[in-house]
Structure 1
């Protein structure tokens, strides 16, 4: 009998508010710790991976410093342990509680939603992005100049308008029928699953996105444009930061 393929159930895709879950260890290898289910978001789509901790009922735990899609085990996620972590007690079948760094996730969600607001204000294709706990940036394929104050004011307006933010799934055929939904030139929606996850900010933005977000634009809070750079003749980089740097996660 052929063994069932190893996969990780990605709980964060349908509920980004989950901060922890119980899980079973499937494998421990050079890439990290593979679980049967997780709340940890892996690096992808420009968004940094989650950090946090895996903990057993007897108190033993492992600090997780990053999360990545496993390159050698398709369909699984590798939870990357701290370099000095003791993994000797982790074996396939071990039950653990997977708990993410809530402050880091909240920062990612705020910034990621803010980049969608920025996309609504700058109607040009995106050819690069990065979303971390300390800043976010989008590279727009355009030649026209952009103004920091105008964009900061525009983001503040959309935040204050408190637009609901939600995700839903559409078929690949629906996406093919609406190619304008894809704004990114550098990251294309994954194919082959038959469906594509889209992020909708009611009345503001709709595009494919697999990242984590806040539930309402009001939850983005005070975000400002800290820098605009001309990276090339056809690239304008916009960098976002929190207006309350003292509260920024470390």
Structure 2
């Protein structure tokens, strides 16, 4: 099939480009290997905010008696929280698909690989286009840490797929992804330890904001260890992370370990 424009990647960059190209009268194909919406909708911003909102309601409910509202014993069901998150994501994803159809964009499901400057190979199908837009997005970075593939060693993708709440969590990486999950699970009453290699969490974020967030994390009982260099991870029923702090080797144990050291471009096998 020949198109004016073929777009590789159905995240915000891809599906918005597809709509605009179609609005300009171009015959447009949008190729996506997984789900429309990309990382932000399916494995990032939207699902984390949905879970955080549930955690916030739980936290507020525990304080309800201070406002004259009797709630009895407040508990939560993480499975229901996760299901609500999935419902929100699915609803938005369907809306994106409807928008593509409305504008006449042809959505092709499959993993696309560049064959040449005007051809994308999707399985056994060859998609030809005068112009190709690359919008593959990103994947969780996987640093060369021994033991990274062990049991209960997770990336943000896998954590968001959990149906049960871990009893405790070690988070490698104190950037925005790690701190967001630290806030979530600490709000739900779980023990959270954050290991950050830099002198401070949230590198690059305004200092006043970092100080404020650090105070919130402390209030929630999150242990933040900065200047920690992770040496290895031991997976299993519980996860163990070995690290060096001030040239002294130490370790911490948790129900699972989240590796959140940033994201890398999705260029592998393209």
TM range (shorter): under 0.3
Higher helix share: 2
Higher strand share: 1
Q: TM-score, normalised by structure 1?
A: 0.26
Q: TM-score, normalised by structure 2?
A: 0.24
* Largest Rg, 1 or 2: 2
More relative contact order, 1 or 2 (CA 8 Å, 6+ apart): 2
